Amino acid sequence: MDIQNKTDDREQSSLIAKINEKMSEFSKSQRLIGNFITNHYEQAAYMTALKLGSAVGVSESTVVRFAIEMGYEGYPEMQRDLQSYSKTRLTALQRLNITNHRIDQENVFRSVLLQDIERIKATVMMIEESAFESAVDSILSAENIYIFGAMSSNALARFMDNYFQLIFNNVHFVQALNTSGIYQQLIRIGRYDVFIGFSFPRYCISTTNAAKYAASHGAKVIAITDSMTSPLGEIADHVLTAKSDMVSFADSLVAPLSLINAIIAAVGIKRRDTIEATLKRLEEIWDENGVYTELK
């Protein structure tokens, strides 16, 4: 089954599709809930059962029973499914509009940082140590390392590239140009190389297509993404998942960045001798050229 068919299957089995299929069978209260979810999924995904019930004029228990009727163990499971559905579809404006349901308006600083802490904790539980080590080994054994990320993920790719350039002499940062420009940068990728792609909702088509191109030429693909079933995750040889979410209209990439730090540390430990020599020379260059301010 190709990737497009897998995506279509996921969408057909989504909560929205289930609601549409069963709408004619619903009671009045269930129709109120179902209609609100299908028409305002971007808000419903981040409402508690109590808030959702209040929005449509039914009780909290009715919302919980609705979730069970839809085949979930409870409301939290249905909410997670709805969040998964919505996060790939929300526009920047829709993200901004639902901020009130996600962030404590009286203490934005504390609210955002505490949420990021939870995302890092979730990421620790998402990744198996063996999968992490396997991805690191592929990076260390590669003849060439290609790094690519588009839109907000470009910042993650840039960060990894900055430090990988200090560790390896075979790193290629792929610029997020037009399609032909991306392929031109990957023209020499082959079976002994590694392509590291970054992709978080909303998933960029260019990243998936670049990974497909790399895989078709025999390169190993390492996906740093939010889900094993993301478009990039489905075609990768190694998938490292990190909890990503939105803060207002911006993406929260704290957990993915922590994952990258772990990868840099892991390869750095195994290439310690090379790094020491490089950093020693860099310190000499920085001192000679007055790169850093010396505090008195």
What's domain 8-87's architecture?
Answer: Orthogonal Bundle (1.10)
If you average pLDDT over residues 202-220, what whole number do you get?
A: 94
The pLDDT of residue 286? 85
Class of domain 120-287: alpha beta
Residue with tokens 């693909």: 221
If you average pLDDT over residues 6-10, what whole number do you get?
A: 39
If you average pLDDT over residues 150-177, what whole number do you get?
A: 94
If you average pLDDT over residues 114-124, what whole number do you get?
A: 90
More confident residue, 59 or 5: 59
More confident residue, 293 or 259: 259
Q: For residue 291, with 0-12 CB atoms within 10 Å meaning exposed, 13-18 middle and 19 or more buried, which class applies?
A: exposed
Q: Pull the structure tokens for residue 124.
A: 């620790």
Percent of the chain with pLDDT over 90: 53
Radius of gyration of the chain (CA): 22
CA-angle at 236, arms to 162 and 248, nearest 5°: 60
pLDDT value at 9 more than 50: no
User: Which amino acid is residue 259, in one-letter code?
Assistant: L
Q: Pull the structure tokens for residue 42.
A: 């971007």
If you average pLDDT over residues 234-256, what whole number do you get?
A: 82
Confidence of residue 40 (pLDDT cuts 50, 70, 90): confident
The domain limits of the chain are: 8-87, 120-287
Q: Which helix (H) or strand (E) holds 214?
A: helix 205-216
Return d(Cα 103, Cα 78) in angstroms, integer. Answer: 21
Return d(Cα 239, Cα 216) in angstroms, integer. Answer: 17
Residue 176: which region, alpha, beta or left (left: phi > 0; alpha: psi -120 to 50)? beta
Return d(Cα 223, Cα 7) in angstroms, integer. Answer: 17
Q: What is the pLDDT of residues 87-118, one digit of tens each?
A: 666 555 555 555 555 566 677 888 888 888 98
Alpha helices by DSSP H, 142-178:
153-167
If you average pLDDT over residues 36-59, what whole number do you get?
A: 87
pLDDT value at 12 more than 80: no
User: Which amino acid is residue 232, in one-letter code?
Assistant: L
More confident residue, 76 or 244: 76
The pLDDT of residue 30? 93
The pLDDT of residue 170? 94
